[in-house]
Amino acid sequence: MGRLSQWAHALKRESLALYYAARDARTPWYAKVLAGAIVAYALSPIDLIPDFIPVLGYLDELLLLPAAIWLALRMVPEPVLADARRRADATLERPTSRIAAFVIVLVWVACAVALGAWIAEHYG
């Protein structure tokens, strides 16, 4: 595994651990608030620095987000973090099913086709 791939896997593991830690009752409220803000920002379509700006556009994903995750993890008590990391490892070790993914995509495509046919029938 290459260095970049290892870094991406570690970031994914730590992000998932942060999610589990934020849901734990032993985590302080301020760590939960920061974790929620980080997750909201990571999933938000609005970036601090728009992605269309060359080089700088991905700065938030490459530097700011990992730094924020690191900071939030430092606020979580060590026993909670250890449990969260174990859960994250267990989750990431689960096998993924390409057949299930294909079926889900197929259902979405069928829904889109049905919606398109309905629109064409009623408005076309």
> Helix (H, G, I), strand (E, B), or coil: what is residue 37?
helix
Q: Tell me the C-alpha to C-alpha distance, in Å, between residue 25 and each of 52, 73, 95.
A: 40, 15, 29
Enclosing domain of residue 102:
96-124
Residues 83 and 62 in one domain: yes
Same domain, 89 and 105: no
Domain count, the chain: 2
Dist CA 28 CA 39 (whole Å): 17
Distance CA 68, CA 59 (A): 13
Mean pLDDT per 10-residue segment, the chain (124 residues): 79 89 94 88 71 71 84 95 94 82 91 95 87
- Is there a single domain that holds both residue 13 and residue 73? yes
Say what the pLDDT of residue 85 is.
95
The pLDDT value recorded for residue 114 is: 96
Q: Do the Cβ atoms of 6 and 66 come closer than 8 Å?
A: no
How high is the pLDDT of residue 4?
75
- Judge if 12 and 36 occupy the same domain: yes
Does 74 share its domain with 120? no
Question: What pLDDT, on the 0 to 100 scale, is given for residue 81?
Answer: 94
Q: Let me know whether 111 and 56 are in one domain.
A: no
Q: What is the pLDDT of residue 92?
A: 87
Instruction: Based on the fold, state whether residues 23 and 12 are members of the same structural domain.
Output: yes
